[in-house]
Structure 1
């Protein structure tokens, strides 16, 4: 396990993780792929309100470059492209589902605080 500055250009391993999966859209993309197994571009776009085609394309490319998702292109007309988690990406599933739970807890916490 590497947590020293000389071993890593980041301050700590959490920075590395957040660089790979952080940001506004990557978490949502990863969650939907973890939840559904395989999704096409259009299906992902429907599940993530507010994301535009260019941003989704960019985020998918970055996740693919990191080895977290896999893109499969089928030689058909019109083109069919599937996205899914890689074996390494599958290791994120427990984290993503825990983040989902935390998000619901966070909403409940703030809803309760607003009611008081």
Structure 2
């Protein structure tokens, strides 16, 4: 839920013309900074912002969200520990099987998967 609120905040602030990349980079809280860059990546559907996420697990889920939103297993190549799961989920979604979403432990990523 917090991720969804942050994502909406990033969208709104971006609409106001703020440079969200610098706003995310200036966050003193590492967890908030990671969530901010992850939201920015999802907003732009660009996994390059995921590289700014310091926590490896959060970075992998960031990459997985982009791969899910684009239905592209090629995007999973930037994931490390969750690469195989990422590819499995994307291929499952391509086959119209939402059951693969149950494999995802991160609630926000699982919700995105189910909405896809």
Taking structure 2 as the reference length, the TM-score comes to: 0.28
More helix by share: 2
- Calculate the TM-score normalised by the size of structure 1: 0.28
Structure with larger Rg: 1
Structure with higher RCO (Cα < 8 A, 6+ apart) = 1
